[in-house]
Structure formats: structure tokens, C-alpha cells
Amino acid sequence: MQAGTLTRDDRSILERSSHSRLPDQLLRWVLTGLAGFILVLIAFFFIRLYIEAKPAFDKFGYVGFTFTDNWDVAKNVYGALPLLVGTLITAALALLLGVPVAVGTALYLTEFAPRRARGTLTIMVEMLAAVPSVVYGLWGVFVLIPKLKPAEQWFSDTFAFLPFVGGTVSGPNYFIGGLILAIMIVPIVTSLSREVIATVPSSQREAAYGMGATRWEMIRYSVLPWSRGGITGSVMLGLGRAMGETIAVALVIGSTAQITTHVFLPGDAMAAVIANQFGEAGALHKSALIGLGVVLFVITILVNVAARGIVTRLDRRTQGA
């Protein structure tokens, strides 16, 4: 008889009574119900947001609302393109600045850090996620903005030939917003990347060392290819966090609803606008703000779907290698 087909009283699973199999069936129904409830809850959120945002969509159109460069509260005209661009710029800066630090930290914790110090260092990194976002925002206002402005101006003048760089530097700007978000996503990306890297079989490392590889070569050709799918997934989750962050970005981005020419000028983001303007919004204005929530919801869903597809493809390549 095949292994795994016997119960503790030496009866086959097929020979068990329906009553004895009831706990297994009940567990399956409960877990299926919970999974279905999550999908229903997501659908309910989206439908409810859409109903509240429909007046703005009806007046400006779906394409007009999303891709028109004109958010003017005084004239009751709402086009979300500058806010969408601001969200994407700050999120891209967060990934550009934060992901190398996060992945490097994860590699250090798993491959280089002394065994006795790993636990302490891991806790210290993960504590960054416990800091409230308003604290990051206030730190950005009172420390980063005044301290970094001379360095930003030097960089802007020295590298003015680069795209999106050059000109006068304002206090609150896209770069400060992206820097704050980069710090906020570091613990998420680091924690998930560290867990994935830790699953690399020791045989992979030993094989690389046996072929004469250095530690860097072992990481490059054994660790990173094995864990790239999980690292990519962690980066996408960090991207979702960066696009949805509200208070910290609202305090440091500048609250200017316009598409600017470089990253050292003020702008605005969708989540920040919702937080800043919702309390004083009229009927159409409130509908437009909820419409921003719908757009942000859709973008977040697309990011997660894309992340799932990328991770699946990378996993298939790893398994086929």
C-alpha cells in the first residue's frame, strides 16, 4: 500500500466514514468562504467608490478625468493627470533610491553579517516600518528640506544636462517625496527579500564555491538567480506602498497640481490630494477626489497583477534553468 494512504488506525482514507472526513470538508469550506469573502470585499470597495465617483466621471468622462492636465478647485474643473504623474514620479524615485539599499541590506543580513548581530540588525531595519508616516513627513519638513536644498541646488546646476534635472530648486519637491517613500519601503522590501534569499539551498552556494567562485560570484550566479522572483515580488509590493502613501508625501511634495519639468520642483500626488482636500470638498469636488481613489485603486490592482505575472515567469525560468 502506498505511503500516505493510511490513517492512524491503519485504514485507508477511502475506507473512512463520511463522519470522520467531516472536519476536513468543514475546513475546506471555511477557507474557501474566507477567500471568497476577500474577493467580495474588494469588489464591494470598488463598486462603492465607483458609485460615489460617477458624477465626476459623467461630467468629465473617464479619459478626460484621468488624462486632462487641469486640476482647478476654484473653477470646479478636475483633471487628474498632474496628480497621476506626481504619484508615478515619486513612486519611481522611491524604487530607484530604496530598492538597491533594501536588496543590499537583505544580502548583507543573509550573507555577510555576523551570526550574533543578524537578529539585532534585522529588528532595527524592521522597526522602520513601525514609525508613523506623519513622523517621516515632519522629519522631511524640518530636517530634509532645509538640509538637502543646497545639495539639491548643486546637483541641479552640475548635472543640468540630464533629463528632468536643472533649474531652481524649491523646498518641498518630488525628490524629497521620493526620498521619504524610499526610506518607508526599505523595511518591506528588505524583509521579504531576506526571507527569499534565506531559502536558497546551501547546495547552491557550496556548488559555486566548489567551482572556485568568489563570494560575489556565488551571490551573482547562485543566490540572485534563485531568488529573483521573490525579490521582484517584494519590489512590486513596495511600489504599491509608495503609490498609496498619503500623509508623509502630502507634507513634503509641495501641493502644486501641475506637471513640472524636473524633480526638484513642487508637485502633488493622488493620495496626498485626497488627504488635503477631502475635508473641505463640495459635492462635485468630493466626487472627483473619490474618482482619484478609483484611479489609484485600479493602478494598484494592475501593479499587483503585473507583479504576479512577473514572479510567475521568473519562477518558471528558474525552474527550467
| pLDDT reported for residue 283 | 87
Alpha-carbon torsion 113, 117, 122, 128, what sign? Answer: negative
Domain of residue 63: give its range.
46-320
How many Å apart are CA 31 and CA 27, to the nearest integer? 6
- Count how many domains the chain has: 1
| pLDDT reported for residue 317 | 63
| pLDDT, tens only, 184-206 | 999 999 999 999 998 888 888 88
| pLDDT, tens only, 130-174 | 899 999 999 999 999 999 999 999 999 998 888 888 888 888 999
| pLDDT reported for residue 1 | 44
DSSP secondary structure string for all residues of 52-80: HHHHHHHHH-HHHHHH-S-EETTTTEE--
Residues contacting 30, CB < 8 A, separation 6+ = none
Q: Is residue 281 part of a domain?
A: yes
| pLDDT reported for residue 312 | 77
Q: Is residue 18 part of a domain?
A: no
CA 50 to chain centre: 23
Q: Is residue 5 part of a domain?
A: no
| pLDDT reported for residue 4 | 47
Model-level pTM? 0.85
**Residues linked to residue 78 through DSSP beta bridges, in sequence order:** 71
Residue 63's domain is classified under what CATH number?
Answer: 1.10.3720.10
